[in-house]
């Protein structure tokens, strides 16, 4: 008998790679935070003596979900001003609230709330873009959560930094601080083509190549963005990024509700990734991303929720479901965006976008044990003809029973093991009361 730290026996193991594989009655062994073996249940019981054994008789094990676009701290603004026209929402509610309230403590508390929600819904890694990424990184590391923290950059001054140089300097110092941390990864996060000028974008392009880091950016979120750019500089935003050398495997282009054939060719030829955020695109009436066409062009498409102010949750199971449903209607074909493709978008494709595909995104020996278990025994996922289909189309966030990140059992039978929920709840209420009082006066 070999010894191992943790042995998980599950009804189904859905490793994502190879695509479409569903292993029945299999077990997964974890040692030193990594997956060491995946093998039939009966073999596993004969092979391993485990310090901890977890029996998941009605569950599917999947790679931990990778939320490829978040503004985690904005959880504190969940539902603060819904159902408003986009510019009213931004100019009279979200931006004033951010200007007034966002500081390091806000980001700390909001990110804690967000991580608790993400773990409870099966997410093990989030790709974040927000002010004070030092707070985001600290909270994630403390909670045992995997994060790709964005070194944010925007042309105009905020409470966080005064100018592009200061944004970059702060981001790079933070990156240095966490250089060898197993859970905290980094991206450059220039906000959007229309808020970052050429000079800092060129610097980011050089630095991203040197440091081998992704560039996380909102690109082509709305039709208006294209029109404005054509009017302003005679180019589509992606064309400008292309000329600046940014359309490369580093680029993580978020939203892309507007993509013509040339855009798709540029993204595909450059090896860039797209992050699809269906619920945010719907809620803000940003447009419809033609995901199947992106996939058909060979582009790596990941999945994200965006911030809770435009969603209003961080539930990647729900996001997968809506990506699959919407993808069919947008493509005009009920066979578009099948469940297995969407599950891959929410796991391995997210990992690829972040340059982490060797480390996470699928259940394979050698990768980190970032794992989510979903209880498929509930009424809502019965009868069960196909576990992948039920996972995407019928399972709810409440069916996520257990979550591990780098082998740490962070959610156990729906209980968060490392987070102080009553304290998070109290801080959330405190912020809510202050923010609500001030939003009413807008």
Q: Is 211 in the site for a second copy (CB under 8 A)?
A: no
Examine residue 332 and tell whether it contacts a second copy (CB under 8 A): yes
Is cis: bond before 409, omega within 30 of 0?
no
Q: Which of 268, 270, 255, 256 is CA-nearest to residue 296?
A: 268
What is the spatial distance between Cα 261 and Cα 251, in angstroms, rounded to a whole number? 18
Smallest distance, Å, CB 69 to a second copy? 17
CB 93 to a second copy: min, Å: 10
CB of 393 to a second copy, least distance (A): 4
Where does this chain touch a second copy (CB under 8 A) — which range of 122-130, 228-236, 327-335, 349-357? 327-335
**Residue 97 or 125 having the CB closest to a second copy:** 97
Q: At what angle do helices 104-120 and 421-439 cross, to 10 degrees?
A: 120
Q: How far is CA 53 from the centre of its chain?
A: 29
- Least Å distance, CB 281 to a second copy, is 7
CA of residue 172 relative to chain centroid, distance: 22
Strand, helix or coil at 362? coil
CA angle in degrees (0–180, nearest 5) for 168-250-149 = 50
Establish if 383 lies at the interface with a second copy (CB under 8 A): yes
* Whole-angstrom distance, CA of residue 412 vs CA of residue 403: 7
> Least distance to a second copy from the beta carbon of 375, Å?
12
The only residue of 205, 286, 300, 401 in contact with a second copy, by rule CB under 8 A? 286
String of contacts with a second copy for each residue 350-369, x by CB under 8 A: --------------------
Q: For a second copy, give the closer residue by CB, 85 or 298.
A: 85
E strands present in 1-44? 2-13, 23-31, 34-40
**What CA–CA distances, in Å, run from 267 to 10, 242, 250, 330, 355?**
39, 9, 11, 20, 16
Instruction: By CB under 8 A, name the one of 53, 228, 245, 288 that touches a second copy.
Output: 288
- Choose which of 55, 198, 380, 415 interacts with a second copy (CB under 8 A): 380
Contact residue for a second copy among 134, 279, 306, 375 (CB under 8 A):
279
- Chain CA centroid to CA 86, Å: 23
Q: Is 277 in the site for a second copy (CB under 8 A)?
A: no
- Told to check if 334 binds a second copy by CB under 8 A, we report yes
The DSSP-derived string for 297-316 is TT-EEEE----GGGTS---H
Q: How many CB atoms lie within 10 A of CB 211?
A: 13
Q: Which of 192, 207, 244, 435 binds a second copy (CB under 8 A)?
A: 435
Binding mask 113-132 for a second copy (x = CB under 8 A): x--xx--x------------
Tell which one of 198, 386, 415, 423 touches a second copy (CB under 8 A): 386
92 vs 380: CA distance, rounded Å: 41
Residues in contact with a second copy by the rule CB under 8 A: 76, 78-86, 88-89, 113, 116-117, 120, 279, 281-288, 308, 311-313, 315, 318, 322, 324-326, 328-329, 331-339, 379-380, 382-386, 389-390, 393-394, 396-398, 421, 424-425, 428-429, 431-432, 435-436, 439
């Amino acid at each position: 008998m070999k010894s191992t730290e943790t042995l998980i026996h599950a009804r189904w193991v859905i490793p994502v790679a190879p695509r479409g594989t569903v292993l029945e009655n299999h077990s997964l062994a974890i040692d030193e935070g990594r997956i060491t073996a995946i093998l039939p249940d009966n073999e596993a019981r004969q092979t391993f003596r485990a310090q901890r054994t977890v029996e998941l008789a009605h569950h599917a094990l999947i790679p931990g979900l990778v939320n490829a676009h978040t503004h985690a701290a904005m959880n504190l603004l969940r539902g603060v001003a819904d159902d408003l026209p986009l510019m009213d929402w931004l100019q009279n509610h979200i931006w004033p609230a951010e200007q007034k309230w966002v500081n390091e403590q806000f980001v700390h508390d909001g990110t804690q709330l967000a991580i608790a929600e993400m773990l409870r819904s099966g997410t093990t890694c989030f790709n974040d873009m927000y002010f004070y990424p030092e707070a985001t990184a600290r909270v994630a590391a403390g909670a045992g959560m995997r994060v790709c923290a964005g070194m944010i950059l925007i042309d105009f001054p905020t409470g966080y930094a005064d100018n592009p140089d200061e944004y970059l300097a702060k981001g790079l110092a933070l990156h240095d601080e966490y250089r060898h941390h197993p859970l905290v990864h980094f991206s450059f996060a220039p906000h959007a083509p229309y808020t970052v000028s050429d000079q800092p974008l060129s610097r980011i392009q050089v630095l991203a190549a040197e440091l081998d880091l992704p560039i996380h950016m909102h690109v082509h979120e709305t039709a208006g963005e294209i029109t404005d750019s054509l009017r302003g500089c005679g180019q589509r935003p992606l064309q400008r990024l292309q000329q600046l050398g940014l359309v490369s495997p580093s680029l993580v282009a978020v939203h892309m509700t507007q993509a013509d054939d040339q855009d798709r060719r540029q993204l595909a030829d450059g090896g860039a990734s797209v992050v699809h955020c269906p619920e945010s695109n719907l809620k803000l009436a940003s447009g419809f991303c033609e995901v199947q066409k992106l996939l058909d062009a060979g582009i790596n498409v990941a999945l994200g929720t965006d911030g809770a102010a435009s969603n209003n949750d961080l539930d990647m199971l729900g996001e997968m479901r809506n990506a699959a449903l919407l993808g069919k209607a947008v493509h005009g074909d009920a066979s578009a965006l099948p469940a297995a493709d969407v599950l891959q978008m929410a796991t391995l494709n997210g990992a690829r976008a972040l340059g982490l595909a060797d480390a996470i995104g699928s259940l394979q020996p050698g990768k980190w044990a970032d794992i989510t278990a979903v209880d498929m025994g509930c009424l809502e996922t019965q009868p069960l003809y196909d576990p992948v289909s039920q996972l995407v189309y019928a399972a709810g966030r409440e069916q996520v029973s257990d979550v591990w990140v780098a082998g740490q059992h962070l959610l156990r039978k729906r209980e968060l093991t490392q987070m102080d929920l009553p304290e998070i709840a109290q801080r959330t209420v405190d912020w809510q009361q202050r923010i609500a009082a001030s939003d009413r006066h807008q």
